[in-house]
Each structure stands twice: as C-alpha cells, then as structure tokens.
Amino acid sequence: HEYKLLGLFKTDIHLIGADSEEGMHALRPLGTDKLGRDVFSRLMYGTRISMSIGLVGVAISLFLGILMGGLSGFKGGWTDSIIQRVIEFLRAMPTIPVWLALGAAVPQDWSVVRVYFAISVIISLIGWTTLAREVRGRFLAMREEDFVTAAQLYGSGQLRVIFRHMLPSFMSHIIATTTLAIPAIIIAETSLSFLGLGLRQPAISWGVLLFEAQNLQAVANAPWLLTPGLFVIFAVLTLNFMGDGLRDAADPYSVQR
C-alpha cells in the first residue's frame, strides 16, 4: 500500500512493519515483543502520543496559568486572595499521590481518545500553579507602570491592556517556562502509564511500552523492550537544555560569556 514517508514523500516501500503477503517483518532494528509486534514501529507511534500529551498538557497549563495569574495580579483584592489560596492548596498536595488517585478514577470502559484527554487534564491540574505565580508577580510589578496607565487613560479595556500591552512584555519568559514544563508532563504521563493508571492498550505511548516491559524475565530475554526509557531520557534532557537556553536568552541580566 502506498503511503507518505514522514507525511511528505510518497512511497510503497515497507521496510518496517507487517508484510501482508509473507506475514513477517522486512526489517526489525529493535526486535519484536512477545506477540511478534515490531518494537521500533510501536516506539515511533508511541513517541507521537507521548510528545503530543506533553504539548496538550502544557497548553492547558499555559492557559490556566496566564488566566489565573493575570487575574490575580491585575485585579488584586479579594480576587487575588482567593486565587492565591487555591494555588497554595494545590501546591500543598503531594503531586504523585494526586495523579495516582485521579488516574485510578478514570473509568476502564472509556475510549482511547477520552482517556488521552483525561490524562492530559489530570497532569495539568497542578502544573499551572508555578506559571500563575510568575505571571502574578509580573503583573503586580507592571500594573502601575506608565504604559499601563497610558493605555487605561486612552480607553483600553482590561483584557486589551492585559493581552495587548502587559503580556507581550514578558512573553519570552513565558515561552522559556513553558518549554521547561513539557519534560515534567512527559515524565508524569510515562509514570502513570507505567503504573497502569494512565493510557492503556490499544493506545501506545512510552509509558505503555515500559509497562509491558516491567516483567524481569521479559527484560532478561528481550532487553530491547527498555528502549522507550532511553527515548524518555533523551527527550527530557533535550527539552531541558532548550528551556535553559531560552530562559538565558530571555534574561536581560544574564552574563554572556
């Protein structure tokens, strides 16, 4: 069957995957699992799921962090007090037990898509608090600045002042913080799925693949089943280095050597 390699190039060459005529794999760079499924193919598919959960989760955290932090810092008063108490309550709760409890509450009969979004939301429930506090601090410092006062005197509404004038002034810092949050979400999804409380078959992610490899005898006979763990380490280190670089680039006081 013809397909597009990387979504760009049309080809009908199937080096990796099941051959419908011979019932075997043409190429198995990482071997197969106990059911004869190609590990490399499943790993590539699981990479898409794990990375997308990281992006979806950080998008939810970004939205909640900017919204709640912006309201808290710009409005002040009782709005600030209520939001800060909510943030303190969420930060006081132990992260891993909360994730485990919420993950265990996901119904077993849910479809893959519903579980996917449920896990993304569960992971994001606590992750937005750090960004919200940073946004609040910036807004508290900027709401008395001359450019904010000028925008308000010009007749700009609160939302326009926030999103048009205040938020863009430290968007580079938000981008760096967001990049550093992606590895934590990837690790959270991998941990939940590894413990059997996250994504489940037939969904495939790095955590699901590691869940299948937690049998010591299976690992002894097929050590290549632990390859998803190397992908997790590589992805987390890469995103952390990228986030550190963006954070340093966004800091006007950083010393360039």
Q: What is the pTM of this model?
A: 0.74
More confident site: 111 or 254: 111
Examine the pLDDT at 227 and tell me if it is beyond 60: yes
Highest mean pLDDT among 6-10, 34-38, 191-195: 191-195
For the chain, give the mean pLDDT. Answer: 79
Examine the pLDDT at 137 and tell me if it is beyond 80: yes
- Residue 39 tokens read as 């590990």
Q: Which amino acid is at 59?
A: A
Q: Which whole number is the average pLDDT over 134-141?
A: 86
The contacts of residue 106 (CB under 8 Å, 6+ apart) are: 115, 118, 119, 122, 197
* CATH number for the domain formed by residue range(s) 45-249: 1.10.3720.10
CA-only gyration radius of the chain, Å: 23
Highest mean pLDDT among 57-66, 108-117, 213-222: 57-66
Q: 24-48 burial by CB neighbour count: b if 16+ within 10 A, else e?
A: ebeebebebbeeeebbbbbbeebbe
Give the pLDDT of residue 25.
45
**Residue ranges of domains in the chain:** 45-249
Give the pLDDT of residue 196.
77
State the number of CA atoms in the 13 A half-sphere of 69 facing the CB.
Answer: 24
pLDDT band of 257, cuts 50, 70, 90:
very low
